[in-house]
Each structure stands twice: as C-alpha cells, then as structure tokens.
Amino acid sequence: MKRMILLLAIITLQHTCSNIDTLQSVAEQYCKGTDPRQVAEFREGIRELNYDLIGESEVWAGLVIKINQWE
C-alpha cells in the first residue's frame, strides 16, 4: 500500500481594491469554491483578517487588503 503525503501552505496575497470592488466581489474572485456558503465564509475570513482596517464597513478604492489562501 502506497501512502501519499499532502502538504499545504497558507499564503497571504494583497489585493488593491478598485472603485467597483465589494468584499463579496473580492471573495468571489479569490475563493476556490463556488458554493455560496463557501464564498460567504471566505468573505468573512477576509473581513476578520483585515478587521483593523475595515471593521464592519465595506472596502473602498485604493484600500490594500490581505487575503489568505491554501496552496
């Protein structure tokens, strides 16, 4: 029996928001899943990671936010 080892690493990306970006649209762009619940969870993960910048508000043009992804 062969065993496979799967290695994952979390990487942090930076995204500069445009005037048409929303937190939802950014999550849809970077989330690897398509299920609405996955995207919603990913969106809230972005909010949590950047809470010191955006709190409960939306993103704005020129704002640079961090996004974590598994690779």
Which pLDDT tens digit goes with each residue over 33-66?
A: 889 999 999 999 999 999 999 999 999 999 999 9
- Whether 52 is covered by a domain: the verdict is yes
Encode pLDDT of 30-41 as tens digits: 999 889 999 999
Whether 24 is covered by a domain: the verdict is: yes
Selection from 41, 16, 44, 39 nearest residue 29 by Cα: 39
Q: How many domains does the chain have?
A: 1
Asked if the structure places residue 4 within a domain, the reply is no
Q: Is residue 53 part of a domain?
A: yes
Distance CA 5, CA 36 (A): 30
In-domain check, residue 63: yes
Domain of 21, in residue numbers: 11-70
| In-domain check, residue 5 | no
The answer for residues whose C-beta is within 8 angstroms of residue 32's C-beta and 6 or more apart is 69
The answer to whether position 66 is within a domain reads: yes
